[in-house]
Chain A
């Protein structure tokens, strides 16, 4: 009796897991939005093909599983000693063995054709309508439109307080950025993907695009989005401490809207440049620099050096009470502007404006008890950069 219970339970256990998978997927196709169970179909022709391939493979696997496990459970039920089964003596049968080698092989060939076809289409990055250079760095993405001088960093916008459970988490927790990438729909957009430091991986599930960002090398991928909308993704390759906190957001706009957006970006850029020039002629107050510096610090520096300036012992150095932030100011500017080769310290000279650089250096030299009382103005930073 005990044995029988065992058998029944064992059979049930496996069948429920298998059928849960099938059932879950079937139920899912009814509710296409907000999928939490299955791959999404996405918004490109390629992602649709990938989804179909996935479902084909999945179906084949379920059929194989049902046949194999079916045979197994039949024999578990019928051919057991408690039902009086006497063991047969047969073993080895060339015909059967050839069959179960050849049939799976044929199934594989059947799978291989559509897979190869989709793969070739995915890797064809020729004749793009536009190109975006995507650069990963710890822990943010940079987007540069290759056909214009527009380029910007895209950082996670979720507040630290939400991560630390002090504020309630928003709907797009960990999946929101300050500046999303904007691309046009119905155009072939090519991505050139690389990295400034470690390997990252740029992944937008709705486009079925996932490509590693390798430092020193450039990878290619492409997409052609059919539906305007906002699509979210994440870095997919372990890239250090904040790997879980470098999301990707892409907004696809109708081509006309995209052109308008682009023109607007050009204008904003020109205004910012004029503002920089204006700043060079004047001085900012300590309070302004400190309050702006704190903002910049928390966005650009706090991931490693920590909001309290104490760093992470043995991994990221402290700034609080450090030589660099309390002594020679030129050395301080040098490391912030140019970074430090062979370490995770990036060159912020190309990421931040003169004003932001001045503010953050002033902040670091006066926060957390680093009371040097020294003020760095945008023009000082400009002089340093031009003087090197």
Chain B
């Protein structure tokens, strides 16, 4: 790989570069506004990446605050703090915010920051659309959160919004819910188109498909999944809208419809959605592990093929969310076997990471600590997923806290831990300074311990028979629920450490770092200066 030619001073910050580099203005006929308008009008992939990441972080805290309400109510049996109707709104909006507001925008933010830098492109292919796909998001979530203040409250039917609970039996805020999901979907589709077009057209000379970093590969596949399934979600919410307000009967047997059809449509979106939230995480871990093991990824090609297999299989397993709906037995068997099959490529990934560490020269910087925690805890979530795939046993697990434990292991200690690993890994590249390592370690250890106190006992209460989505429970679950709530509060508080750390980093506190930052890091993003200048690779590098 050659060094890019357009580097400015290593110490230049984004603002410095804008002020000091007059050449910059010759390339762009418009002046970049300062202050607030810079962020509103920006078409720069790094600015938009930052916006996405901050937005995701704020949503993570908002959705987390709702989880705190849930855990406070469940601290003891009986109703203490909120009423059941509001409790249901909290579980619903917590889920929607965490999926569509925290995890997905965080990955899109990472894609914006990293994909152009990793493939040697000057920016995303469609910068104005990029701006728009971000800026409609705050409106989507303002509508969703605003609906909580309507008469009768916001959506209270679970993030899965099963009909007819979400149609005939919901209040009028459903209209706002549908509108906001539509906006989120449009934003995701535009983001996905941008990723695909950028990767297909803007790779630097020599950056062949099988040289692309795995983060780029996993995001490319994720983007195809998004384009395939977000329109299905849009269809589902539209049918809910017309069933509720315009007299159609898609999901109403009295008019010739079928409520179970809703679940088929929803999960045809919903299952690939699960992989949308985990494939980029696989990419991140596949970048971080080789860096700190100082050894190339064991099986690059097999990782790419495994990712593609998972993506393809994700389209034929959706009904494993619906084993209790009353399917014919041969359908149950098909979906059981297809689901079990997914563990093969997923296993390949975990084995690859372990083989990469094997006989490496490992060090344990903060990103690596998060990556290792990811591998162990995600695998626990994956193994409970394998148990859930077994239909006869799933009848017992389904809709209990065992499921809640499973998907929080894959989403919190999976997706979210990978996002934190990514932030710690690339933050020094973004700001040019090393973050506060002491705080970062506090954040890691507090999160690791509390997240297990929070989610591990959920396996037990689930197996013992506690249904999910209930505001009150019988007495035998009281002890574990108290532990779970304590873990929840501690995990919530631990994230404030992260907030403090990121604010410090954005205010340019800390030691300046070298271009490569981590001595074992490889890839184009480590060849450019730290902090990354506002514009990179205006002349494409040549990848050998």
Q: Is B380 in the interface zone, CB < 8 Å from A? A: yes
6 contacts between A and B (CB under 8 A): A36-B479, A69-B379, A71-B358, A123-B329, A208-B396, A210-B398
Chain B 289-305 against A: per-residue CB contact (8 Å), 1 yes, 0 no? 00001111111111000
Q: Is B360 an interface residue (CB 8 A)?
A: yes
CB distance from B442 to the nearest CB of A (A): 12
Least CB distance from A198 to B in Å reads: 4
Q: Does A34 contact B (CB under 8 A)?
A: yes
**Cα separation A123 to B398 with both chains bound (whole Å):** 17
Alpha-carbon distance A214/B22, docked complex (angstroms) = 68
Out of B297, B362, B473, which one reaches A174, CB within 8 Å?
B473
**Alpha-carbon gap, A150 to B347, bound state (A):** 54
Q: Is the CB of A108 within 8 A of B472?
A: no
The prevalent SS among residues of A at the interface is mixed
What does the 1/0 interface line of B153-175 toward A look like (CB < 8 Å)? 10011100010110011011100
- Nearest 6 CB-CB pairings of A with B: A314-B152, A216-B253, A314-B151, A244-B470, A219-B326, A61-B383
* Cα separation A211 to B260 with both chains bound (whole Å): 13
Name the one of B259, B343, B463 contacting A215, with C-beta atoms under 8 angstroms.
B259
A173-B474, A344-B168 given. 9 additional CB < 8 A pairs? A68-B351, A80-B361, A91-B356, A119-B329, A123-B329, A165-B79, A172-B474, A205-B465, A212-B260
Q: Which residues of A contact B341 (CB under 8 A)?
A: 108
Kindly list chain A residues whose C-beta atoms are within 8 Å of the C-beta of B470.
234, 243-244
* Residue B509 is within 8 A (CB to CB) of chain A in the complex: no
Residues of B contacting A: mostly: helix
The digit string for A97-124, where 1 denotes a CB below 8 A from any CB of B, is 1001100110010011001101110110
Whether A240 is near chain B, meaning CB under 8 Å from some CB there, is yes
- Residues in B457-494 with C-beta less than 8 Å from chain A: 459-461, 463-465, 467-477, 479-480
Contact with A along B376-413 (1 / 0, CB 8 A): 10011001101100111101101110000000000000
Q: For residue A342, which residue of chain B has the nearest CB?
A: B168
> Which residue of B295, B326, B383 is within 8 Å of A211 (Cβ)?
B326
> With the chains together, A7 CA to B373 CA distance in Å?
11
Which of A39, A193, A312 has the most chain B CB atoms inside 10 A of its CB? A39
Q: Are B362 and A75 in contact (CB under 8 A)?
A: yes
Q: Report the nearest A residue to B363, measured CB to CB.
A: A81
Specify which chain B residues have a CB less than 8 angstroms from the CB of A86 in the assembled complex.
361
Contact B300–A163 (Cβ < 8 Å): no
Complex Cα distance, B329 from A239, in Å, reads: 25
Q: How far is the CA of A116 from the CA of B326 in the complex (A)?
A: 16
**Contact in complex: B300, A91 (CB < 8 Å):** yes
A238 touches B162 (CB 8 A): yes
CB-CB < 8 A to A50: which residues of B? 392-393, 395-396
Contact status B387-A54, CB under 8 Å: yes
| A386 contacts partner chain B, Cβ-Cβ < 8 Å | no
Inter-chain contact A96/B467, CB cutoff 8 Å: no
Would you call A152 an interface residue if the criterion is a C-beta within 8 Å of the partner chain's C-beta atoms? no
Binding site for B on A (CB under 8 A): 3, 6-7, 9-10, 13-14, 17-18, 20-21, 24, 34-40, 49-50, 53-54, 57-58, 61, 64-65, 68-69, 71-72, 75-76, 79-82, 85-93, 96-97, 100-101, 104-105, 108, 111-112, 115-116, 118-120, 122-123, 138, 162-165, 169, 171-175, 193, 197-199, 201, 203, 205, 208-212, 214-217, 219-220, 233-245, 312-315, 342-344
Question: Given A88-B295, A215-B253, A215-B259, do A13 and B361 touch, yes or no (CB 8 Å)?
Answer: no
CA distance A237 to B398 in the complex (A): 9
Q: Are B475 and A68 in contact (CB under 8 A)?
A: no
Complex contact A90–B326 (CB within 8 A): no
**A236-B162 in contact given A17-B452, A79-B361, A241-B84 (Cβ < 8 Å):** no
Interface assignment of B1: CB less than 8 Å from any CB of chain A: no
Which residues of chain B have C-beta atoms less than 8 A from A37's C-beta? 460, 463-464
Quote the shortest CB–CB distance from A346 to chain B (angstroms).
11
Cβ-defined partner of A343 (8 Å) among B168, B260, B452: B168
Task: Find out whether the CB atom of A217 lies under 8 angstroms from the CB atom of B260.
Answer: yes
CA distance A323 to B470 in the complex (A): 34
Q: Does B80 reach chain A (CB closer than 8 Å)?
A: yes
B374 to A: closest C-beta gap in Å? 12
B480 x A36 contact (CB < 8 A): yes
- Of the candidates A24, A57, A75, A209, the one whose C-beta lies within 8 Å of that of B395 is A209
**Contact flag A314-B150 (CB < 8 Å), given A38-B464, A104-B347:** yes
A119 near B336 (CB under 8 angstroms)? yes
| B393 in contact with A65 (CB, 8 Å) | no
A24-B460, A75-B360, A238-B157 as given contacts; A6 in contact with B369, CB under 8 Å: yes
Given known contacts A17-B456, A39-B396, is B324 in contact with A210 (CB within 8 Å)?
yes
B325 within 8 A of A: yes
- Given A87-B294, A87-B295, A209-B395, verify A244-B362 contact (CB < 8 Å): no
Contact A238 B333 (CB under 8 A): no
A91 touches B476 (CB 8 A): no
Q: Verify if B505 is at the interface (C-beta below 8 Å from A).
A: no
Check if B369 sits within 8 Å of A87, measured CB to CB: no
Q: Is B449 an interface residue (CB 8 A)?
A: yes
CB-based contact B469/A75 at 8 Å: no
Cβ-closest chain A residue relative to B373: A10
**In the complex, what distance in Å separates the CA atom of A236 from the CA atom of B403?**
12
Q: Given A88-B359, A163-B79, A240-B165, is A39 in contact with B395 using a C-beta cutoff of 8 Å?
A: no
